[in-house]
Homo-oligomer: A and B are copies of this chain.
Amino acid sequence: MTAPSFAKIRNPKRKVDDRAVAHAILDQGLVAHVGFVIDGRPMVMPMAYARDGERLYIHGASKTRIVAKTGGLPLCLTVTHLDGIVCARSGFNHSVNYRSCVVHGTGRWVEPGAEFDRALWLITDHLLPGRNAEVREATAQEMKATGVLAVDVDAVTVKVRTGGPVDEPEDHALDIWSGVLPVTMAIGRGVPDGHTAPTRAEPPSLSAARRKFSL
């Protein structure tokens, strides 16, 4: 896979022809919905992920179906940010404001080694920037229990809707409240576990996550 893959944008109605937008959507997402085909049926699972340039990584227990069985198979990873419910004067013109990135690619099992280590580092860093420096190192046993799948990207679709309702002009005079109900993801203060001193300050990775994921 080479860099231009993120420019292979498909033809949706709300397409945004900008690789930077795709990267931003992926980088601000916490969960990807990963689709694969098993026994001819679609399966969609929520998964953590990371982006490394023009490549994505997912991981899981070595033996889980999606990690162990989808090497070489087509995958679809979709990341969606919902930004608002768009309230119009007719049911038909209701909509939602959102940013979504649909990545079509092929799974590739990553063998233990430098790419494997980097992928795990990136997945943790994606959720909690800087966290890798705050925790103990992984053991050989933990590494063995983990499977990593690279997603070599074939095509990307970005869709973005922003702004208020688009009503029929003749509907504007109707006595109906219309506009946007804003929706966002909110991240609170860290809640320490029972083995952490309650007065202890949050580590930098938590505030970094709040900065990264708060829009």
Tell me which residues from 175 to 215 in chain A have a Cβ below 8 Å from any Cβ of chain B: 176-196, 200-203, 205-206, 209-210, 213
Q: Say yes or no for A35: interface residue by CB 8 A criterion.
A: yes
Number of copies: 2
A96 touches B181 (CB 8 A): no
What 0/1 readout, one digit per residue, does chain A (99-139) give for beta carbons within 8 Å of chain B?
01010100000000000000011001001100110111011
The verdict on A182 contacting B192 (CB below 8 Å), with A100-B46, A135-B176 known, is no
B136 touches A76 (CB 8 A): no
A33 touches B44 (CB 8 A): yes
A180 to B209 alpha-carbon distance, docked (Å)? 12
Q: Say yes or no for A53: interface residue by CB 8 A criterion.
A: no
A138 touches B178 (CB 8 A): no
- List 13 contacting pairs A-B, 8 Å CB cutoff, sorted by A: A30-B183, A82-B185, A87-B131, A90-B142, A91-B121, A91-B124, A92-B146, A177-B190, A177-B200, A177-B206, A183-B187, A183-B188, A183-B213
A138 touches B92 (CB 8 A): yes
Q: Which residues of B contact A121 (CB under 8 A)?
A: 91
What bracket does the count of chain A residues touching chain B fall in?
35 or more
The verdict on A176 contacting B136 (CB below 8 Å), with A33-B78, A94-B127 known, is yes
Q: Is the interface of A mostly helix, strand, loop or mixed?
A: mixed
Q: Which residues of B contact A87 (CB under 8 A)?
A: 128, 131, 190, 205-206
Determine which of B183, B194, B200, B205 lies in contact with A164 in the assembled complex, contact meaning CB atoms within 8 Å: B194
Chain A positions near chain B (C-beta within 8 angstroms): 30-31, 33-37, 40-46, 48, 74-78, 80, 82, 85, 87-92, 94, 96, 98, 100, 102, 104, 120-121, 124, 127-128, 131-132, 134-136, 138-139, 142, 145-146, 164-165, 167, 171-172, 174, 176-196, 200-203, 205-206, 209-210, 213
B42 touches A42 (CB 8 A): yes
